[in-house]
Structure 1
């Protein structure tokens, strides 16, 4: 069994350490998300995804520990177990990334259909309160048709700030904003609706998630490649010179060298 190159072993251990740290962070994030959404009404829908994340992070963390042991002790069985497990995990991430890219155009339509029922306004509903927060954050008004979605009761969250980043228009004078207005100065509100900004924000999060998955795939693949290189090195035998016995190689078959200094 040949000796593994030091640089190759150190590179593998560094990659494994990064994977272990990443898995620990993902596990902590999953635990935090689970605890934060524990009493959420949609917890039943989110639970299968959280269980998958629990399984992936814990199994990968165990494989990383086994890989460290196999690399330090040069145990083939540990490295083979790690390589097989990581190949399966990499294939899982690749399938999910491809599905995410394929479903991306449909997500916009699904989000639009999801937010359509919000257009049936109810001023006391929790949905409207959330939309008002969205209007403040994205500097928009209404969901699909701008301030017209609010009808008469245009909320103050539609009012333009001093230095708005999005365009503003004058609010209609027959709206609730002019109830306590004394002068005839126009009241400026945001012109654009919030639906495009909301969808764009969700899609940005989705793209960031797909990018993180791609990074995980590359890191997982690198670890598998380094592991296979170490296994190939361990399977290779060192060339040992053949020792041939000779009957002439006796203890007395040598000539002592004389010191030339004695003859000078």
Structure 2
């Protein structure tokens, strides 16, 4: 602590000095002409500044204590969970893009393809957004973000588990349903224009002929069924009233279509169930974190130094009494 400067006309009070100035211990006579004693008060703002700094330090300690209400291990587990959740969302989007590329045939949509791919895109995007929200809420210990995350997890768990169980029940009967639906399109030469156009492009891309057989076209076999014996597996057939001979693809198109539709369905089913289980786990973790934030904070002892210095009186000049 720095020593205060006093006016030159004043002297500081030291042991051995009386209020009348230095004395001689032997004869108690003044050894010299005393100088007036002055008391230099603290400035008016100094005590309040010291107290304010001490209170600010206490407030910072209190805020730090409040920011550590959530168990650090639980917070790390929750953040890692959300990172994994975001990776799952990215994988879903990548699978949707891959399915779109593999099942794209001449710019046409294969039956049942569009709905499944769009659902994958939506689930992947929503999963990534929710995981980012959860990681932010855990890192910042934001109760609002964690509550929104919890609500999304509850809705997601109910929706995805319900959709997954429904798809699991329907999946065994799906092949028979698809077969009945495609057989209803026969014969292809009398089908609607869009059906014939899709089948024609399907045959050109997949190198197949007819849905179930080349006879699906009856006597009007299109050029897309014609096959090159040197490149593909072909068969010689006769058709029409003139018994024309042609080499067509041995492979039919329906097994390929069925495989693609069942593949997309299985991927969607796995995504539904996986996200449902992850959403349930996220709901449990976020509930624990919100519960910890709602607990009363531990008591924090505020230690304020007692440096309250009362304002001293004005300067007062004291003189030695006259000698007798």
Structure-2-length-normalised TM-score = 0.50
Does residue 169 in structure 1 map to residue 235 in structure 2? yes
Change (3 A) 1:153 1:54: closer
Contact 1:153 1:176 in 2 (8 A): no
Displacement of 1:127 after TM fit? 1.5
Q: Please, which of 146, 163, 167 is the counterpart of residue 96 of structure 1?
A: 163
- C-alpha distance in 2, partners of 1:76/1:99? 34
Paired residues for 1:60-75 under 5 Å: 61=129, 67-75=134-142
Contact 2:218 2:239 in 1 (8 A): no
- C-alpha distance in 2, partners of 1:134/1:176? 27
Change (3 A) 1:68 1:200: closer
- C-alpha distance in 2, partners of 1:176/1:3? 88
SS state at 2:190 partner: coil
- Residue matched to 2:74: 8
Unaligned runs of 5+ in 1: 34-45, 179-185, 241-264
- C-alpha distance in 1, partners of 2:70/2:253? 59
- C-alpha distance in 1, partners of 2:207/2:243? 17
Change (3 A) 1:134 1:10: same
- Residue matched to 2:149: 82
Contact 2:208 2:225 in 1 (8 A): yes
- C-alpha distance in 1, partners of 2:142/2:190? 66
Deviations along 1:123-182, one digit per CA (max 9) or x if unpaired, are 8823112112222333321123x1112222222222335443xx532122658995xxxx
SS state at 1:217 partner: helix
Unaligned runs of 5+ in 2: 1-65, 101-113, 300-324
Deviations along 1:79-121, one digit per CA (max 9) or x if unpaired, are 3442243122111100001101111233333323332332132
Q: Please, which of 204, 208, 212 is the counterpart of residue 140 of structure 1?
A: 208
Contact 1:16 1:67 in 2 (8 A): yes
- C-alpha distance in 2, partners of 1:222/1:177? 67
Contact 1:168 1:189 in 2 (8 A): yes
Contact 2:74 2:289 in 1 (8 A): yes
Contact 1:154 1:177 in 2 (8 A): no
Query: How many residues align structurally?
Result: 211
Structure-1-length-normalised TM-score = 0.60
Question: RMSD over aligned Cα, in angstroms?
Answer: 4.4
Does residue 210 in structure 1 map to residue 300 in structure 2? no
Paired residues for 1:110-125 under 5 Å: 110-120=177-187, 121-122=189-190, 125=193
Range that drifts further, 68-77 or 230-239: 230-239
- Residue matched to 1:109: 176
- Residue matched to 1:37: none
Displacement of 1:122 after TM fit? 3.5
- Residue matched to 1:195: 254
